[in-house]
Structure 1
Amino acid sequence: MAIAIVVAALALIAGLAANRFLRPRLLTEDDDSGMAVKDLVAPLLTLTVLLLAFVLVTANGSYGKAEVASRGEARALDQIAETAEYAQGKQRAAIQSDAVCYARAVRVQEWPAMSDGNGDGSKGPSVWSTGMRHNFRPLEGEPAFGMLVSADTKRSEERSERLTQATASIPSAIFWFLLATLALTVVSLGICLPRKNNRGQLIALTLITALLTATLCIIRDVDRPFGGIVDVKPTAIADVEKQATRDLRAHDKNAELPCDEDGKRITRLAKG
Protein backbone atom coordinates (compact mmCIF):
# COMPACT_ATOMS: atom_id res chain seq x y z
CA MET A 1 0.00 0.00 0.00
CA ALA A 2 2.84 2.38 0.85
CA ILE A 3 4.48 1.58 -2.50
CA ALA A 4 1.32 2.63 -4.36
CA ILE A 5 1.22 5.97 -2.54
CA VAL A 6 4.92 6.67 -3.17
CA VAL A 7 4.66 5.77 -6.88
CA ALA A 8 1.56 7.94 -7.30
CA ALA A 9 3.27 10.88 -5.61
CA LEU A 10 6.34 10.49 -7.81
CA ALA A 11 4.11 10.25 -10.89
CA LEU A 12 2.38 13.48 -9.90
CA ILE A 13 5.71 15.25 -9.47
CA ALA A 14 6.96 13.85 -12.77
CA GLY A 15 3.79 14.99 -14.53
CA LEU A 16 4.14 18.54 -13.20
CA ALA A 17 7.80 18.62 -14.18
CA ALA A 18 6.98 17.36 -17.66
CA ASN A 19 4.28 20.01 -17.92
CA ARG A 20 6.87 22.68 -17.36
CA PHE A 21 9.71 21.39 -19.53
CA LEU A 22 8.22 19.01 -22.13
CA ARG A 23 4.80 20.42 -22.84
CA PRO A 24 5.95 23.12 -25.28
CA ARG A 25 7.61 20.42 -27.40
CA LEU A 26 4.79 17.85 -27.26
CA LEU A 27 1.66 19.94 -27.63
CA THR A 28 0.70 22.08 -30.58
CA GLU A 29 -2.40 23.80 -31.74
CA ASP A 30 -1.49 23.24 -35.41
CA ASP A 31 -4.15 20.96 -36.90
CA ASP A 32 -1.67 19.69 -39.52
CA SER A 33 0.57 18.14 -36.88
CA GLY A 34 -1.85 15.30 -36.19
CA MET A 35 -3.31 14.12 -32.90
CA ALA A 36 -1.93 15.96 -29.88
CA VAL A 37 -0.95 14.28 -26.60
CA LYS A 38 -3.97 15.70 -24.81
CA ASP A 39 -6.23 13.83 -27.25
CA LEU A 40 -4.75 10.53 -26.11
CA VAL A 41 -5.05 11.15 -22.37
CA ALA A 42 -8.84 10.73 -22.17
CA PRO A 43 -8.81 7.10 -23.45
CA LEU A 44 -5.89 6.33 -21.13
CA LEU A 45 -7.76 7.72 -18.14
CA THR A 46 -10.88 5.76 -19.12
CA LEU A 47 -8.84 2.56 -19.41
CA THR A 48 -7.27 3.12 -15.99
CA VAL A 49 -10.64 3.69 -14.32
CA LEU A 50 -12.20 0.62 -15.97
CA LEU A 51 -9.28 -1.59 -14.95
CA LEU A 52 -9.41 -0.38 -11.36
CA ALA A 53 -13.19 -0.88 -11.21
CA PHE A 54 -12.99 -4.41 -12.62
CA VAL A 55 -10.23 -5.48 -10.23
CA LEU A 56 -12.03 -3.85 -7.29
CA VAL A 57 -15.17 -5.88 -8.02
CA THR A 58 -13.08 -9.07 -8.17
CA ALA A 59 -11.34 -8.33 -4.88
CA ASN A 60 -14.62 -7.40 -3.20
CA GLY A 61 -16.15 -10.72 -4.31
CA SER A 62 -13.32 -12.60 -2.62
CA TYR A 63 -13.84 -10.55 0.54
CA GLY A 64 -17.54 -11.40 0.58
CA LYS A 65 -16.87 -15.12 0.14
CA ALA A 66 -14.37 -15.03 3.01
CA GLU A 67 -16.94 -13.48 5.32
CA VAL A 68 -19.62 -15.99 4.31
CA ALA A 69 -17.24 -18.91 4.85
CA SER A 70 -16.27 -17.61 8.29
CA ARG A 71 -19.90 -17.38 9.37
CA GLY A 72 -20.70 -20.79 7.87
CA GLU A 73 -17.86 -22.40 9.78
CA ALA A 74 -19.08 -20.81 13.01
CA ARG A 75 -22.65 -22.02 12.44
CA ALA A 76 -21.42 -25.57 11.77
CA LEU A 77 -19.33 -25.55 14.95
CA ASP A 78 -22.29 -24.23 16.92
CA GLN A 79 -24.39 -27.08 15.55
CA ILE A 80 -21.78 -29.59 16.73
CA ALA A 81 -21.81 -28.12 20.24
CA GLU A 82 -25.62 -28.14 20.38
CA THR A 83 -25.99 -31.64 18.93
CA ALA A 84 -23.56 -32.91 21.57
CA GLU A 85 -26.36 -32.33 24.10
CA TYR A 86 -27.93 -35.57 22.84
CA ALA A 87 -24.85 -37.55 23.88
CA GLN A 88 -24.08 -39.07 27.26
CA GLY A 89 -22.24 -36.98 29.86
CA LYS A 90 -18.66 -38.03 29.08
CA GLN A 91 -18.97 -37.78 25.29
CA ARG A 92 -21.01 -34.58 25.52
CA ALA A 93 -18.41 -32.85 27.65
CA ALA A 94 -15.54 -34.06 25.44
CA ILE A 95 -17.16 -32.85 22.20
CA GLN A 96 -18.16 -29.48 23.64
CA SER A 97 -14.69 -29.01 25.14
CA ASP A 98 -13.09 -29.72 21.78
CA ALA A 99 -15.51 -27.28 20.14
CA VAL A 100 -14.48 -24.52 22.55
CA CYS A 101 -10.78 -25.22 22.01
CA TYR A 102 -11.26 -25.36 18.23
CA ALA A 103 -12.91 -21.93 18.29
CA ARG A 104 -10.08 -20.53 20.40
CA ALA A 105 -7.43 -21.98 18.06
CA VAL A 106 -9.15 -20.46 15.03
CA ARG A 107 -9.58 -17.08 16.67
CA VAL A 108 -6.13 -16.75 18.27
CA GLN A 109 -3.82 -18.89 16.12
CA GLU A 110 -5.26 -19.18 12.62
CA TRP A 111 -6.70 -15.69 12.15
CA PRO A 112 -3.34 -13.90 12.45
CA ALA A 113 -1.70 -16.55 10.25
CA MET A 114 -4.06 -15.64 7.39
CA SER A 115 -3.37 -11.90 7.50
CA ASP A 116 -0.47 -11.93 5.01
CA GLY A 117 -2.69 -13.07 2.13
CA ASN A 118 -0.86 -16.35 1.51
CA GLY A 119 -3.74 -18.55 2.69
CA ASP A 120 -1.56 -20.21 5.30
CA GLY A 121 -3.55 -21.61 8.17
CA SER A 122 -2.53 -23.05 11.52
CA LYS A 123 -2.22 -26.60 12.75
CA GLY A 124 -3.95 -25.63 16.00
CA PRO A 125 -7.58 -26.06 14.85
CA SER A 126 -6.80 -29.40 13.20
CA VAL A 127 -5.77 -30.85 16.56
CA TRP A 128 -9.21 -30.23 17.99
CA SER A 129 -11.20 -31.19 14.88
CA THR A 130 -9.40 -34.54 14.95
CA GLY A 131 -10.28 -34.85 18.61
CA MET A 132 -13.94 -34.14 17.89
CA ARG A 133 -14.12 -36.89 15.28
CA HIS A 134 -12.45 -39.29 17.72
CA ASN A 135 -15.14 -38.48 20.28
CA PHE A 136 -17.89 -39.09 17.71
CA ARG A 137 -17.02 -42.78 17.42
CA PRO A 138 -18.61 -44.01 20.68
CA LEU A 139 -21.89 -42.52 19.42
CA GLU A 140 -21.92 -44.53 16.18
CA GLY A 141 -25.33 -46.04 15.62
CA GLU A 142 -27.14 -43.35 17.61
CA PRO A 143 -29.23 -40.59 15.94
CA ALA A 144 -26.83 -37.88 17.11
CA PHE A 145 -23.91 -39.50 15.28
CA GLY A 146 -25.21 -38.67 11.80
CA MET A 147 -25.96 -35.07 12.75
CA LEU A 148 -22.51 -34.62 14.26
CA VAL A 149 -20.75 -36.06 11.21
CA SER A 150 -22.81 -33.89 8.88
CA ALA A 151 -22.07 -30.74 10.88
CA ASP A 152 -18.37 -31.59 11.06
CA THR A 153 -18.23 -32.09 7.29
CA LYS A 154 -19.81 -28.68 6.81
CA ARG A 155 -17.33 -27.15 9.26
CA SER A 156 -14.41 -28.69 7.35
CA GLU A 157 -15.71 -27.41 4.00
CA GLU A 158 -16.25 -23.89 5.29
CA ARG A 159 -12.81 -23.79 6.86
CA SER A 160 -11.24 -24.88 3.57
CA GLU A 161 -13.18 -22.15 1.77
CA ARG A 162 -12.06 -19.59 4.35
CA LEU A 163 -8.42 -20.53 3.85
CA THR A 164 -8.86 -20.41 0.07
CA GLN A 165 -10.32 -16.91 0.18
CA ALA A 166 -7.52 -15.82 2.52
CA THR A 167 -5.19 -16.18 -0.46
CA ALA A 168 -4.88 -12.97 -2.47
CA SER A 169 -7.08 -13.26 -5.58
CA ILE A 170 -5.27 -10.50 -7.49
CA PRO A 171 -1.86 -11.70 -8.77
CA SER A 172 1.11 -9.44 -8.05
CA ALA A 173 1.69 -8.96 -11.79
CA ILE A 174 -1.77 -7.40 -12.19
CA PHE A 175 -1.22 -5.12 -9.20
CA TRP A 176 2.06 -3.84 -10.63
CA PHE A 177 0.44 -3.39 -14.03
CA LEU A 178 -2.31 -1.29 -12.45
CA LEU A 179 0.28 0.74 -10.57
CA ALA A 180 2.24 1.39 -13.78
CA THR A 181 -0.95 2.37 -15.62
CA LEU A 182 -1.90 4.75 -12.82
CA ALA A 183 1.54 6.38 -12.89
CA LEU A 184 1.45 6.75 -16.68
CA THR A 185 -2.02 8.30 -16.52
CA VAL A 186 -1.01 10.84 -13.87
CA VAL A 187 2.13 11.84 -15.80
CA SER A 188 0.13 12.22 -19.02
CA LEU A 189 -2.46 14.39 -17.30
CA GLY A 190 0.31 16.51 -15.82
CA ILE A 191 1.83 17.11 -19.25
CA CYS A 192 -1.49 18.35 -20.61
CA LEU A 193 -2.11 20.96 -17.91
CA PRO A 194 -1.86 24.60 -19.01
CA ARG A 195 1.36 26.27 -17.85
CA LYS A 196 -0.34 29.48 -16.69
CA ASN A 197 -3.45 30.16 -14.61
CA ASN A 198 -3.62 26.47 -13.79
CA ARG A 199 -4.46 26.46 -10.08
CA GLY A 200 -7.83 24.81 -10.64
CA GLN A 201 -6.33 22.17 -12.92
CA LEU A 202 -3.57 21.44 -10.40
CA ILE A 203 -6.13 20.89 -7.67
CA ALA A 204 -8.18 18.64 -9.95
CA LEU A 205 -5.10 16.60 -10.91
CA THR A 206 -4.16 16.19 -7.26
CA LEU A 207 -7.68 15.00 -6.43
CA ILE A 208 -7.71 12.56 -9.35
CA THR A 209 -4.35 11.17 -8.28
CA ALA A 210 -5.57 10.80 -4.69
CA LEU A 211 -8.78 9.02 -5.77
CA LEU A 212 -7.02 6.61 -8.13
CA THR A 213 -4.38 5.84 -5.50
CA ALA A 214 -7.03 5.33 -2.82
CA THR A 215 -8.86 2.90 -5.12
CA LEU A 216 -5.67 0.92 -5.68
CA CYS A 217 -4.98 0.85 -1.93
CA ILE A 218 -8.53 -0.35 -1.24
CA ILE A 219 -8.07 -3.13 -3.80
CA ARG A 220 -4.84 -4.19 -2.10
CA ASP A 221 -6.51 -4.13 1.32
CA VAL A 222 -9.77 -5.87 0.41
CA ASP A 223 -7.85 -8.55 -1.50
CA ARG A 224 -6.46 -9.64 1.89
CA PRO A 225 -9.73 -10.13 3.79
CA PHE A 226 -8.12 -11.24 7.05
CA GLY A 227 -5.53 -8.47 7.33
CA GLY A 228 -5.36 -4.74 6.79
CA ILE A 229 -7.79 -1.95 7.56
CA VAL A 230 -10.92 -3.53 6.05
CA ASP A 231 -10.79 -7.09 7.35
CA VAL A 232 -13.09 -9.91 8.38
CA LYS A 233 -13.16 -10.15 12.17
CA PRO A 234 -13.46 -13.50 14.04
CA THR A 235 -16.67 -12.27 15.64
CA ALA A 236 -18.83 -15.25 14.66
CA ILE A 237 -16.38 -17.89 15.89
CA ALA A 238 -15.87 -15.91 19.13
CA ASP A 239 -19.64 -15.94 19.74
CA VAL A 240 -19.75 -19.70 19.22
CA GLU A 241 -16.86 -20.10 21.65
CA LYS A 242 -18.82 -18.26 24.33
CA GLN A 243 -22.01 -20.24 23.63
CA ALA A 244 -20.24 -23.61 23.69
CA THR A 245 -18.54 -22.66 26.95
CA ARG A 246 -21.91 -21.79 28.49
CA ASP A 247 -23.36 -25.12 27.33
CA LEU A 248 -20.44 -26.97 28.88
CA ARG A 249 -20.62 -25.07 32.18
CA ALA A 250 -24.38 -25.57 32.36
CA HIS A 251 -23.80 -29.25 33.15
CA ASP A 252 -20.63 -28.87 35.19
CA LYS A 253 -19.60 -25.47 36.50
CA ASN A 254 -16.14 -26.81 37.35
CA ALA A 255 -15.49 -28.53 34.03
CA GLU A 256 -11.86 -28.12 32.95
CA LEU A 257 -11.00 -27.40 29.34
CA PRO A 258 -8.08 -29.28 27.74
CA CYS A 259 -6.69 -26.02 26.28
CA ASP A 260 -5.61 -22.58 27.38
CA GLU A 261 -7.03 -19.24 26.26
CA ASP A 262 -5.05 -19.47 23.00
CA GLY A 263 -6.44 -22.89 22.07
CA LYS A 264 -3.20 -24.72 22.86
CA ARG A 265 -3.40 -28.11 24.53
CA ILE A 266 -2.70 -28.20 28.26
CA THR A 267 -0.62 -31.08 29.53
CA ARG A 268 -1.69 -31.90 33.05
CA LEU A 269 0.52 -33.93 35.35
CA ALA A 270 -1.05 -37.04 36.85
CA LYS A 271 -1.91 -36.71 40.52
CA GLY A 272 -0.52 -39.10 43.10
Structure 2
Amino acid sequence: MVLIIVVAVLALLAGLAANRYLRPRLMSEDDDTGMAVKDLVGPLLTLTVLLLAFVLVTANGSYGKAEVASRGEARAVDQLVESAEYAPDAQRGKIQADAVCYARAVREREWSAMADGKGSSAPSVWSTDLRRVFREVEGKPVFGMLVSADHKRSDEREERLTQATASIPGVILWFLLATLVITVAALGVCLPRRNNRGQIITLTVITALLTSTLCIIRDVDRPFGGIIDVEPTAMTEVQRQATRDFLAHHKAAELPCDDKGDRRSS
Protein backbone atom coordinates (compact mmCIF):
# COMPACT_ATOMS: atom_id res chain seq x y z
CA MET A 1 0.00 0.00 0.00
CA VAL A 2 2.87 2.37 0.79
CA LEU A 3 4.40 1.57 -2.60
CA ILE A 4 1.13 2.51 -4.35
CA ILE A 5 1.01 5.88 -2.59
CA VAL A 6 4.68 6.65 -3.26
CA VAL A 7 4.44 5.78 -6.97
CA ALA A 8 1.24 7.83 -7.35
CA VAL A 9 2.86 10.87 -5.74
CA LEU A 10 5.92 10.51 -7.96
CA ALA A 11 3.65 10.30 -11.02
CA LEU A 12 1.90 13.51 -9.99
CA LEU A 13 5.21 15.32 -9.48
CA ALA A 14 6.54 14.00 -12.81
CA GLY A 15 3.46 15.27 -14.62
CA LEU A 16 3.73 18.72 -13.06
CA ALA A 17 7.45 18.87 -13.85
CA ALA A 18 6.78 17.88 -17.46
CA ASN A 19 4.16 20.61 -17.67
CA ARG A 20 6.72 23.10 -16.47
CA TYR A 21 9.72 22.13 -18.57
CA LEU A 22 8.59 19.84 -21.40
CA ARG A 23 5.31 21.36 -22.54
CA PRO A 24 6.82 24.63 -23.88
CA ARG A 25 8.93 22.59 -26.31
CA LEU A 26 5.99 20.48 -27.53
CA MET A 27 3.27 23.11 -27.83
CA SER A 28 3.25 26.61 -29.28
CA GLU A 29 -0.06 27.95 -27.99
CA ASP A 30 -0.43 30.47 -25.23
CA ASP A 31 0.84 29.17 -21.90
CA ASP A 32 -2.38 30.21 -20.21
CA THR A 33 -4.40 27.74 -22.25
CA GLY A 34 -4.70 24.08 -21.58
CA MET A 35 -7.04 21.47 -20.24
CA ALA A 36 -9.74 22.99 -18.08
CA VAL A 37 -10.89 21.52 -14.79
CA LYS A 38 -14.05 20.09 -16.35
CA ASP A 39 -11.94 18.40 -19.02
CA LEU A 40 -9.85 16.73 -16.32
CA VAL A 41 -12.83 15.37 -14.44
CA GLY A 42 -14.61 13.94 -17.51
CA PRO A 43 -12.29 11.14 -18.72
CA LEU A 44 -11.16 10.24 -15.22
CA LEU A 45 -14.72 9.89 -13.97
CA THR A 46 -15.15 6.81 -16.14
CA LEU A 47 -11.95 5.29 -14.82
CA THR A 48 -12.95 6.07 -11.25
CA VAL A 49 -16.35 4.42 -11.70
CA LEU A 50 -14.72 1.32 -13.19
CA LEU A 51 -12.27 1.07 -10.31
CA LEU A 52 -15.01 1.55 -7.74
CA ALA A 53 -17.12 -1.13 -9.45
CA PHE A 54 -14.10 -3.43 -9.25
CA VAL A 55 -13.87 -2.69 -5.53
CA LEU A 56 -17.56 -3.52 -5.04
CA VAL A 57 -17.17 -6.82 -6.88
CA THR A 58 -14.12 -7.67 -4.79
CA ALA A 59 -15.85 -6.65 -1.56
CA ASN A 60 -18.88 -8.80 -2.34
CA GLY A 61 -16.57 -11.63 -3.33
CA SER A 62 -13.50 -12.34 -1.24
CA TYR A 63 -14.45 -10.24 1.78
CA GLY A 64 -18.06 -11.41 1.85
CA LYS A 65 -17.15 -15.08 1.53
CA ALA A 66 -14.52 -14.74 4.24
CA GLU A 67 -17.03 -13.24 6.66
CA VAL A 68 -19.67 -15.86 5.87
CA ALA A 69 -17.15 -18.70 6.29
CA SER A 70 -15.94 -17.29 9.62
CA ARG A 71 -19.47 -17.14 10.99
CA GLY A 72 -20.36 -20.55 9.57
CA GLU A 73 -17.32 -22.11 11.22
CA ALA A 74 -18.25 -20.55 14.54
CA ARG A 75 -21.80 -21.89 14.27
CA ALA A 76 -20.44 -25.37 13.52
CA VAL A 77 -18.22 -25.28 16.62
CA ASP A 78 -21.19 -24.12 18.67
CA GLN A 79 -23.23 -27.03 17.29
CA LEU A 80 -20.46 -29.41 18.35
CA VAL A 81 -20.62 -28.08 21.89
CA GLU A 82 -24.40 -28.36 22.01
CA SER A 83 -24.40 -31.86 20.51
CA ALA A 84 -21.87 -32.96 23.12
CA GLU A 85 -24.58 -32.56 25.76
CA TYR A 86 -26.16 -35.76 24.37
CA ALA A 87 -22.90 -37.73 24.69
CA PRO A 88 -21.84 -39.74 27.74
CA ASP A 89 -20.23 -37.66 30.49
CA ALA A 90 -16.65 -38.71 29.70
CA GLN A 91 -16.90 -37.86 26.00
CA ARG A 92 -18.93 -34.71 26.64
CA GLY A 93 -16.12 -33.12 28.64
CA LYS A 94 -13.49 -34.07 26.05
CA ILE A 95 -15.51 -32.66 23.14
CA GLN A 96 -16.28 -29.41 24.92
CA ALA A 97 -12.63 -29.03 25.99
CA ASP A 98 -11.42 -29.65 22.43
CA ALA A 99 -13.96 -27.14 21.12
CA VAL A 100 -12.70 -24.48 23.54
CA CYS A 101 -9.09 -25.15 22.56
CA TYR A 102 -9.96 -25.16 18.85
CA ALA A 103 -11.67 -21.78 19.16
CA ARG A 104 -8.69 -20.37 21.05
CA ALA A 105 -6.23 -21.69 18.46
CA VAL A 106 -8.24 -20.19 15.60
CA ARG A 107 -8.59 -16.81 17.30
CA GLU A 108 -5.05 -16.50 18.69
CA ARG A 109 -2.91 -18.45 16.22
CA GLU A 110 -4.57 -18.80 12.87
CA TRP A 111 -6.22 -15.39 12.64
CA SER A 112 -2.92 -13.50 12.77
CA ALA A 113 -1.33 -15.96 10.32
CA MET A 114 -4.11 -15.31 7.79
CA ALA A 115 -2.94 -11.70 7.48
CA ASP A 116 -0.09 -13.15 5.37
CA GLY A 117 -2.40 -15.55 3.54
CA LYS A 118 -1.28 -18.52 5.64
CA GLY A 119 -2.90 -20.92 8.05
CA SER A 120 -1.79 -22.49 11.32
CA SER A 121 -1.41 -26.07 12.44
CA ALA A 122 -2.66 -25.25 15.95
CA PRO A 123 -6.40 -25.74 15.25
CA SER A 124 -5.72 -29.06 13.48
CA VAL A 125 -4.40 -30.50 16.74
CA TRP A 126 -7.81 -30.13 18.33
CA SER A 127 -9.85 -31.17 15.30
CA THR A 128 -7.82 -34.41 15.29
CA ASP A 129 -8.59 -34.87 18.98
CA LEU A 130 -12.28 -34.34 18.26
CA ARG A 131 -12.36 -37.12 15.67
CA ARG A 132 -10.57 -39.41 18.11
CA VAL A 133 -13.31 -38.82 20.68
CA PHE A 134 -16.01 -39.34 18.06
CA ARG A 135 -14.83 -42.92 17.59
CA GLU A 136 -15.56 -43.54 21.26
CA VAL A 137 -19.27 -42.81 20.69
CA GLU A 138 -19.57 -44.52 17.31
CA GLY A 139 -22.87 -46.35 17.08
CA LYS A 140 -24.63 -44.01 19.50
CA PRO A 141 -27.34 -41.56 18.29
CA VAL A 142 -25.11 -38.56 19.01
CA PHE A 143 -22.39 -39.81 16.64
CA GLY A 144 -24.15 -38.63 13.47
CA MET A 145 -24.81 -35.18 14.95
CA LEU A 146 -21.17 -34.75 15.94
CA VAL A 147 -19.78 -35.92 12.60
CA SER A 148 -22.16 -33.67 10.66
CA ALA A 149 -21.17 -30.62 12.72
CA ASP A 150 -17.48 -31.46 12.36
CA HIS A 151 -17.77 -31.78 8.57
CA LYS A 152 -19.42 -28.37 8.48
CA ARG A 153 -16.64 -26.93 10.63
CA SER A 154 -13.97 -28.40 8.38
CA ASP A 155 -15.61 -27.07 5.19
CA GLU A 156 -16.04 -23.57 6.59
CA ARG A 157 -12.47 -23.47 7.84
CA GLU A 158 -11.18 -24.51 4.42
CA GLU A 159 -13.24 -21.76 2.79
CA ARG A 160 -11.97 -19.21 5.32
CA LEU A 161 -8.35 -20.13 4.59
CA THR A 162 -9.02 -20.00 0.85
CA GLN A 163 -10.38 -16.46 1.10
CA ALA A 164 -7.37 -15.40 3.21
CA THR A 165 -5.18 -15.59 0.10
CA ALA A 166 -5.32 -12.76 -2.44
CA SER A 167 -7.84 -13.45 -5.22
CA ILE A 168 -6.56 -10.67 -7.51
CA PRO A 169 -3.41 -11.73 -9.43
CA GLY A 170 -0.44 -9.46 -8.88
CA VAL A 171 -0.18 -8.66 -12.58
CA ILE A 172 -3.65 -7.09 -12.49
CA LEU A 173 -2.75 -4.92 -9.52
CA TRP A 174 0.43 -3.78 -11.28
CA PHE A 175 -1.60 -3.07 -14.43
CA LEU A 176 -3.99 -0.87 -12.44
CA LEU A 177 -1.02 0.92 -10.89
CA ALA A 178 0.53 1.51 -14.32
CA THR A 179 -2.78 2.87 -15.59
CA LEU A 180 -2.89 5.29 -12.66
CA VAL A 181 0.66 6.47 -13.35
CA ILE A 182 0.08 7.04 -17.08
CA THR A 183 -3.23 8.81 -16.51
CA VAL A 184 -1.96 11.17 -13.82
CA ALA A 185 1.27 11.98 -15.68
CA ALA A 186 -0.56 12.67 -18.96
CA LEU A 187 -3.06 14.95 -17.26
CA GLY A 188 -0.22 16.81 -15.56
CA VAL A 189 1.34 17.56 -18.96
CA CYS A 190 -1.94 19.06 -20.20
CA LEU A 191 -2.24 21.57 -17.38
CA PRO A 192 -1.67 25.26 -18.22
CA ARG A 193 1.63 26.62 -16.88
CA ARG A 194 0.12 29.81 -15.44
CA ASN A 195 -3.15 30.56 -13.69
CA ASN A 196 -3.44 26.85 -13.00
CA ARG A 197 -4.09 26.70 -9.28
CA GLY A 198 -7.61 25.28 -9.73
CA GLN A 199 -6.43 22.63 -12.18
CA ILE A 200 -3.56 21.58 -9.93
CA ILE A 201 -5.87 21.25 -6.94
CA THR A 202 -8.33 19.23 -9.00
CA LEU A 203 -5.60 16.95 -10.35
CA THR A 204 -4.27 16.41 -6.84
CA VAL A 205 -7.73 15.47 -5.57
CA ILE A 206 -8.27 13.09 -8.49
CA THR A 207 -4.86 11.51 -7.87
CA ALA A 208 -5.75 11.03 -4.21
CA LEU A 209 -9.11 9.51 -5.19
CA LEU A 210 -7.63 7.03 -7.65
CA THR A 211 -4.84 6.12 -5.24
CA SER A 212 -7.33 5.55 -2.43
CA THR A 213 -9.44 3.38 -4.71
CA LEU A 214 -6.47 1.24 -5.65
CA CYS A 215 -5.48 0.92 -1.98
CA ILE A 216 -9.03 -0.17 -1.13
CA ILE A 217 -8.89 -2.81 -3.85
CA ARG A 218 -5.72 -4.25 -2.36
CA ASP A 219 -7.03 -4.00 1.20
CA VAL A 220 -10.42 -5.62 0.57
CA ASP A 221 -8.73 -8.43 -1.35
CA ARG A 222 -7.01 -9.39 1.92
CA PRO A 223 -9.97 -9.64 4.32
CA PHE A 224 -7.90 -10.75 7.32
CA GLY A 225 -4.90 -8.45 7.06
CA GLY A 226 -5.99 -4.96 6.09
CA ILE A 227 -7.71 -1.95 7.51
CA ILE A 228 -11.11 -3.34 6.48
CA ASP A 229 -10.70 -6.79 8.00
CA VAL A 230 -12.91 -9.58 9.29
CA GLU A 231 -12.71 -9.84 13.06
CA PRO A 232 -13.02 -13.18 14.95
CA THR A 233 -16.10 -11.88 16.76
CA ALA A 234 -18.26 -14.95 16.18
CA MET A 235 -15.51 -17.38 17.18
CA THR A 236 -14.77 -15.35 20.31
CA GLU A 237 -18.42 -15.58 21.38
CA VAL A 238 -18.51 -19.32 20.70
CA GLN A 239 -15.34 -19.74 22.74
CA ARG A 240 -16.94 -17.90 25.64
CA GLN A 241 -20.06 -20.08 25.52
CA ALA A 242 -18.09 -23.31 25.15
CA THR A 243 -15.90 -22.36 28.11
CA ARG A 244 -19.02 -21.66 30.18
CA ASP A 245 -20.49 -25.07 29.31
CA PHE A 246 -17.23 -26.85 30.10
CA LEU A 247 -16.79 -25.08 33.44
CA ALA A 248 -20.30 -26.12 34.45
CA HIS A 249 -18.96 -29.64 35.05
CA HIS A 250 -15.16 -29.24 35.18
CA LYS A 251 -12.42 -26.99 36.46
CA ALA A 252 -10.49 -24.56 34.28
CA ALA A 253 -7.26 -26.42 35.08
CA GLU A 254 -8.65 -29.49 33.29
CA LEU A 255 -8.54 -27.73 29.91
CA PRO A 256 -5.74 -29.33 27.85
CA CYS A 257 -4.64 -26.00 26.32
CA ASP A 258 -3.47 -22.57 27.39
CA ASP A 259 -5.09 -19.24 26.55
CA LYS A 260 -3.58 -19.26 23.04
CA GLY A 261 -4.84 -22.72 22.14
CA ASP A 262 -1.48 -24.49 22.51
CA ARG A 263 -1.43 -27.89 24.19
CA ARG A 264 -0.22 -27.78 27.77
CA SER A 265 2.95 -29.65 28.56
CA SER A 266 2.50 -32.87 30.52
Same-fold status (TM-score > 0.5):
yes
The Cα shift of 1:224 comes to 0.8
Superposed displacement of residue 221, structure 1: 1.0
Q: Contact 1:226–1:232 at 8 Å: present in 2 too?
A: yes
- Alpha-carbon offset, residue 22 of structure 1: 2.3
1:192 to 176, 185, 190: 190
Is the contact made by 1:73 and 1:159 (CA closer than 8 Å) also made in structure 2?
A: yes
Do 2:103 and 2:239's aligned partners in 1 also have CA atoms closer than 8 Å?
yes
Residue 123 of structure 1 is matched in structure 2 by 121
SS of alignment partner, residue 75 of structure 1: helix
What letter is aligned with 1:235?
T
- After TM superposition, give the deviation of residue 74 of structure 1 in Å: 0.3
Give the secondary-structure state (helix, strand or coil) at the position aligned to 2:195. Answer: coil
Percent of aligned pairs with the same residue? 66
User: 8 Å contact 1:170–1:223 — kept in the other structure?
Assistant: yes
Give the counterpart letter for 1:98 in structure 2.
D
Aligned position for 2:97: 97
CA distance in 2, matches of 1:229, 1:42: 28
Structure 2, unpaired ranges of 5+: none
Instruction: Indicate whether 1:22 and 2:22 are aligned.
Output: yes
In structure 1, the partner of 2:176 is 178
Distance in 2 (CA, whole Å) between partners of 1:51 and 1:25 is: 34
Per-residue deviation, 1:255: 5.7
Distance in 2 between residues matched to 1:65 and 1:83, nearest whole Å:
26
- On the 8 A contact 1:98/1:132 being kept in 2, the answer is yes
Q: Pairwise mapping of residues 18-167 of structure 1 onto structure 2 (< 5 A)? A: 18-27=18-27, 45=44, 48-60=47-59, 61-116=61-116, 118=117, 120-167=118-165
Task: Return the alpha-carbon distance in structure 2 between the equivalents of residues 261 and 26 of structure 1.
Answer: 68
The separation in 1 between residues aligned to 2:205 and 2:252, in whole angstroms, is 61
Which residue of the other structure, out of 214, 217, 225, is the alignment partner of 1:216?
214
Task: Name the TM-score, length of structure 2 as normaliser.
Answer: 0.91
Quick one: which amino acid aligns to residue 86 of structure 1?
Y
Q: Deviations over 1:25-78 (max 9, x none)?
A: 44466xxxxxx999x978863564355234313421201110110000000000
1:247 and 2:245 aligned: yes
Q: Does structure 2 retain, via aligned residues, the 8 Å contact 1:77–1:155?
A: yes
| 1:259 is aligned to 2:244 | no
Cα distance in 2 for residues equivalent to 1:255 and 1:233: 28
Number of aligned residue pairs: 260
Q: Distance in 2 between matches of 1:37 and 1:193?
A: 6
Residue 125 of structure 1 deviates from its aligned partner by 0.5
Q: Write the deviation string for residues 97-129 of structure 1: whole angstroms up to 9, x where unpaired.
A: 00000001101111111101x3x2111101100
Tell me how far apart the structure 1 counterparts of residues 141 and 53 of structure 2 sit (CA, whole Å): 49
For structure 1, the residue ranges without an aligned partner over 5 or more in a row are 30-35
Deviation at 1:229, TM superposition (A): 1.2
Asked whether the equivalents of residues 222 and 229 of structure 2 are also in contact (C-alpha less than 8 Å), the reply is yes
Q: Secondary structure at the match of 1:114?
A: helix
Contact 2:113 2:120 in 1 (8 A): yes
Q: Distance in 1 between matches of 2:50 and 2:25?
A: 30
> How much has 1:208 moved relative to structure 2?
0.4
Cα distance between partner residues in 1 of 2:8 and 2:54: 18
Q: Distance in 2 between matches of 1:104 and 1:144?
A: 25
Q: Give me the TM-score of the superposition, normalised by structure 1.
A: 0.89
Task: Give the CA RMSD over aligned residues.
Answer: 2.2
Structure 1 residues 28 and 145: CA distance shift in structure 2, 3 A: farther
Q: 1:153: Cα distance to partner?
A: 0.4
The 8 Å contact of residues 19 and 193 in structure 2, kept in 1 or not, is answered as yes
